[in-house]
Amino acid sequence: MLKTLSNRLQKLFARDQDNTIQALDAAAVEELQLTFKTRYYSFRQLLTANTKTLESMAEIEKALQGVEPFSFSFVQKACGTVSINVFNMIKHMENIAPNKYNALRDSFASIQSRIDALLNQKKDLSDRRLVIPLESITSDMMDVVGGKMANLGDVKNRLRMRVPPGFVVTAAAHELFMNTDGLQKEVDRLFQVAGSDLDRNLDLVSSQIRQLILAAEVPEPIRAAVHNAYEKLKDKYEGPELHLAVRSSAHGEDAENSSFAGQYRSELNVHFSQFFHVYKQVLASKYSPQAIAYKINKGFRDEDIAMCVGCLAMVDAVAGGVVYTRNPLDRRDDNIFINSTWGLPKAVVDGDTLCDLFVVARDEDLTIVRQDVRDKDFQVVCYEMDGCIRTETDKSIAKDPSLSESKIRELADAAIQIEEYYELPQDIEWAITEDGTIFFLQSRPLQQMEATLPAEELNLQRFAASLIFEGGINASPGTASGGVFKVSKKVDILQFPEGAVLVVEQALPTWAPLVARAAAVISERGGFAGHLANVAREFGIPAIFGVTEAMDLVENGELVTVAADLGRIYLGSIAPLLEWKRPELTPMKGSPIYELLQQASRHIIPLNLIDPESRDFQPQNCSTFHDITRFIHEKSVVEMFNFGKDHHFSERSSKQLHYKVPMNWWILNLDDGFVHEVHDKYVKLEDIASIPMLAFWEGFVAIPWDGPPAMDGGGMTTILFRSTMNTALVTGSQTKYADRNYFMISKNFCTLSSRLGYHFSTMEAMVSERSVENYLGFKFKGGAADFERCLGRLRFIQEILERYGFRTSINGDNLDARIEGRNMEYMLERLKILGYLTLHTRQLDMIMGNSGHVNYYMKKLSGDIDQMLAGEHSCAV
């Protein structure tokens, strides 16, 4: 239909040009206006969609740096926003140029289907067993039993070390549980409702989901399988009544670079009568606020994590702890670090108490190079019937070493074997029974960090006056400063300001969600083997523990500097200390969400269609969304310019500008370009409402023209020569359309076709408050002088335009200049510049052979423009 309309119009215009028919009737003007409005509308929408697409792409690229956390819903949203807006661009392009670029739809569909395939993929479990005994588990079964139990299976079955007997309730069981009675669907719905507000509603969403899980029945097949495994375990078990340690063993839980440290529930000393209740609690802990926050921060999808549950015969420990096979705080240190306390190892892991540290060298004798024996005033022990209890340690042994030297070496020796087996530093949990038997309860990869120590030349003495604490435990290396924020209750979590220094009494896993948002962490209690320390290291947040009376030492809001490697806290912000920074961590890299976004982005981000002049610049060659946007953007601008070029109009449908005198400027109002109806054949400047046209005109009349420049030698001959070739240039034989200037305007839009002197230029501008839609295009062509001189002038104008922020290119004797997406004020200034140049570059091709003249005019023109923009000239004609 547009096509027929424009054909009709062209015919009308053509006839008009032939002077056969005098006027367009009112209906035709109405049609022209409507055509314009439709195209103008689509063009604006297209530019908005283009900007939106590019913004989303920038967001994706930023996410792919891997520093900031993002979730699956971010991936969905970012990819979705790109798809929708690219699709919008195609639709608007179809309105502007119907049936011209149909292949775009096919390109879009094939790119979209590749992205869909990535976003909709699901993994299938092949092993459908609900319960598997520990004796038959190896590390090849990660998918089925979770990382923690798969690794422990290796320690037991391949390394033949002592591990308590037990079994695992598998991923298949978890799937069965969640799919019974639509539980998973309901969980998905709750997440969806929370949407992007999840951060704020974390506690609410978490408790809703956990209640759902706790209220559900454990399906009968799982009950039967567990009963069966438990009976077999009991038959083999020697000792007093069998109790179980029930531990989470989730997917991804113990993977390298994401330990989910302490996020999930583990229950110790569980009586079998309580088992299924505890089982559900462990499943529910997948949705604890810490776990959800951690998942978001590390980029796991809900469906990426199956909650397998390990059940081991409970070891009644007299002492226990964690071995690090290397120094987690310093990659260059290969000593073995043994953290140990009285009672169950839980006390070390929970970080609510101090513990002994034994450091062992990897030499022949396993020399103990360091023994820090602390006052272990509290310990965790098994409670008689069920569960365990935090209790005061017998005063007579609280300050004694919790390990003998021979046990220290035995542990160190086993640790080295385990590390050699995995070929990676390990974090190993262990327990010792009354009779001295060592049991291994867990082994997972240990993340090591680079130490950040001050340059040797830095004299720390300078800051001694600001030192408020020293001798703390370096739980996570680095230095940082920020305002103090003390947290003692859960409600404080909500108030925690981004970038504050978190100060707590105990290094509890509860505080884990705050760590990623904190500048640094200070705790009165806890050691570097605790969960919170793990989390801090994982996110690269400096942390100092063992800061006695920290809660009284600093005030809320007070600025402090935490130098974890020195174990020191300073008052204020100590710049030289803050300069020792580690390379930025990229916790997202390697996570399933990250991989997904990276793969999807390959169909979105790369730009293959670069050169619009190339023969490959075709819709069917678009292989990414970026290609499509690039193609459409280029073509839409061309099509819009064509509107001005294709639709010449008669002076009867337009008005002549009356500025002091009737001018050779003709104006067609396309929409709301006049302040009111104009019935006269002249339109006055004050009748015009077109914002871009008024700005252009202001520049045009700002400074009077000095008249044609004096010609350099040869200039005139050339003009005379070319004038004989081109009738349009010969005075007296001009056609009706030569040397006239045509504006088509609406309030925020204006095109100009202008023939001034011996050159031809077109300008198109769209300017409104909506910066993203703003557009200014300028084309300049020809001249009376020879090609060299014309080109000289093109380069001259190009240089000026670039100086004021235009993007320009020259093709043959065409100069093309553009500005997009800047604010209104900026755009209007550029329009003034174009107005000024339109007048003042007349016949400048004449002097292009003389560099002195060129320099003179370059200086004059830019001087004028600067003055004009500074407001020193206003309508000085």
Cβ closest to other proteins, residue 51 vs residue 741: 51
Residue 384-423 contact track with other proteins, rule CB under 8 A, x = bound: ----------------------------------------
Q: E-strand spans in 166-315?
A: 166-169, 244-250, 266-270, 307-313
- Of 25-33, 333-341, 507-515, 640-648, the segment contacting other proteins by CB under 8 A is 25-33
Q: How far is the CB of 372 from other proteins (least distance, A)?
A: 50
Here the tokens at position 695 are 């700005």
Q: Which CB atom, from 116 or from 375, has the smaller least distance to other proteins? A: 116
Give the nearest distance from C-beta 769 to other proteins in angstroms. 6
CB-based contacts of 44, cutoff 8 Å, min separation 6: 766, 773
User: What is the rounded distance in angstroms from the CA atom of residue 402 to the CA atom of residue 841?
Assistant: 91
Reference 84, options 812, 565, 604, 610; nearest CA is 604
Burial of 765 (0-12, 13-18, 19+ CB in 10 A): buried
- Please classify residue 773 by burial: count the beta carbons closer than 10 Å to its beta carbon, then call 0-12 exposed, 13-18 middle and 19+ buried: buried
Quote the CA–CA distance of 445 and 253 in Å, as a whole number.
Answer: 11
Piece of 28-36, 642-650, 843-851, 869-877 that binds other proteins (CB under 8 A): 28-36
Secondary structure element (H or E) that encloses residue 761, with its range: strand 759-766
Nearer to other proteins, 748 or 753 (CB): 748
Between 10 and 95, CB nearer to other proteins: 95
Tell the smallest beta-carbon distance from residue 52 to other proteins (Å).
9
Query: Is 48 or 599 the residue whose CB approaches other proteins more closely?
Result: 48
| Structure-block tokens of residue 853 | 């003249």
Q: Report residue 677 as tokens.
A: 């109806």
Asked if 599 is part of the footprint of other proteins (rule: CB under 8 A), the reply reads no
Query: Is residue 245 helix, strand or coil?
Result: strand
Helix (H, G, I), strand (E, B) or coil at 311: strand
Nearest distance in Å: CB 687, other proteins = 18
Q: Which CB, 521 or 689, lies closer to other proteins?
A: 689
Which CB, 79 or 512, lies closer to other proteins? 79
CB 85 to other proteins: min, Å: 9
Nearer of residues 79 and 819 to other proteins, judged by Cβ: 79
- Cβ-based burial of 660 (10 A; exposed 0-12, middle 13-18, buried ≥19): exposed
- Eight-state DSSP code of residue 140: G
Which residues 148-167 are close enough to bind other proteins by CB under 8 A? none
Shortest separation between residue 200's beta carbon and other proteins, angstroms: 11
Q: Which one of the spans 27-35, 147-155, 382-390, 407-415 is the region binding other proteins (CB under 8 A)?
A: 27-35
Q: How far apart are the first and last CA of the chain?
A: 46
Q: Which one-letter amino acid corresponds to residue 6?
A: S
Binding segment for other proteins (CB under 8 A), chosen from 26-34, 236-244, 516-524, 714-722, is: 26-34
Which residue in 576, 124, 433 sits closest to 306, CA to CA? 124
- Which helix (H) or strand (E) segment holds residue 571: the answer is strand 568-571
Least Å distance, CB 79 to other proteins, is 7
Q: How far is the CB of 77 from other proteins (least distance, A)?
A: 5
- Residues ≥6 apart with Cβ < 8 Å to 201: 194
| Residue-wise DSSP of 701-714 | TTS----SPPPPTT
Q: For residues 300 and 742, which CB has a smaller minimum distance to other proteins in the complex? A: 300
Residue 387 main-chain phi, psi, to 5 deg: 80, -170
Give me the 91-120 binding string for other proteins, x by CB under 8 A, dash otherwise.
Answer: x---x--x-------------x--xx--xx
The distance of closest approach from Cβ of residue 68 to other proteins in the complex, given in angstroms and rounded to an integer, is: 18
Pattern of binders to other proteins over 220-259, x per CB under 8 A?
Answer: ----------------------------------------
Of residues 184-203, those binding other proteins (CB under 8 A): 192-193, 195-197
Q: Which is nearer to other proteins, 49 or 791 (CB)?
A: 49
Q: Decide: is 770 part of the binding site for other proteins (CB under 8 A).
A: yes
Query: Angle at Cα 627 formed by Cα 625 and Cα 629, nearest 5°?
Result: 70
- Shortest distance (Å) from residue 496 CB to other proteins: 22
CB of residue 626 vs other proteins: minimum separation in angstroms?
17
User: Is residue 823 a contact residue for other proteins (CB under 8 A)?
Assistant: no
Q: For residue 282, give the H/E element and its range.
A: helix 275-284
Q: Which stretch of DSSP H or E encloses residue 811?
A: strand 807-811
| Residue 568 CB neighbour total at 10 angstroms | 24
* Contact string (CB under 8 A) for other proteins, positions 430-469, x = contact: ----------------------------------------
Q: Closer to other proteins at the Cβ: 368 or 689?
A: 689
User: Closest CB to other proteins among 69 and 262?
Assistant: 69
Number of neighbours of residue 382 by Cβ within 10 angstroms: 19
Total length of the chain: 877
C-alpha span between 873 and 633 (Å, rounded): 37
Nearest C-alpha neighbor of 415 from the set 375, 380, 443: 443
Tell me which residue of 104, 115, 120, 117 sits closest to 60, measured CA to CA.
Answer: 115
Considering only CA atoms, which of 489, 94, 427 is closest in space to residue 255?
Answer: 427
Query: ∠30-34-35 over CA atoms, to 5°?
Result: 120
Site for other proteins in 529-558 (CB under 8 A): none
Q: How far is the CB of 763 from other proteins (least distance, A)?
A: 24
Q: Which is nearer to other proteins, 197 or 241 (CB)?
A: 197
3-state per-residue secondary structure call for 622-670: CCCHHHHHHHHHHHHHHHHHHHHHHCCCCCCCCEEEEECEEEEEEEEEC
Residues 29-88 close enough to bind other proteins by CB under 8 A: 30-31, 34, 37-38, 41, 44-45, 48, 73, 76-77, 79-81, 83-84, 87-88
Give the shortest CB-305-to-other proteins separation in angstroms: 18
Nearest approach, Cβ of 669 to other proteins (angstroms)? 16
- Smallest gap from Cβ 677 to other proteins, in A, equals 17
d(CA 775, CA 780): 17
Q: How far is the CB of 89 from other proteins (least distance, A)?
A: 12
Binding letters toward other proteins, positions 661-700, x by CB under 8 A = ----------------------------------------
In degrees rounded to 5, what are phi and psi of residue 541? -100, 125
Residue 1 binds other proteins, judged by CB under 8 A: yes
The answer to whether 308 contacts other proteins (rule: CB under 8 A) is no
Q: Closer to other proteins at the Cβ: 127 or 199?
A: 199
Contacts of residue 214, defined as CB under 8 A and 6 or more positions apart, other chains included, come to 280, 281, 284
Q: Say how many residues touch other proteins, by CB under 8 A.
A: 38
CA–CA gap between residue 350 and residue 533 (Å, rounded)? 10
Q: Is 507 within 8 Å of 491 (Cβ atoms)?
A: no
Q: In the bound complex, what is the minimum distance in angstroms from residue 34's beta carbon to other proteins?
A: 6
Look at residue 352 and give its three-state secondary structure. Answer: coil
Q: Which is nearer to other proteins, 184 or 371 (CB)?
A: 184
- Please report how close the Cβ of residue 190 comes to other proteins at its closest, in angstroms: 12
- Contacts with other proteins by CB under 8 A lie at 1-2, 5, 27, 30-31, 34, 37-38, 41, 44-45, 48, 73, 76-77, 79-81, 83-84, 87-88, 91, 95, 98, 112, 115-116, 119-120, 192-193, 195-197, 769-770
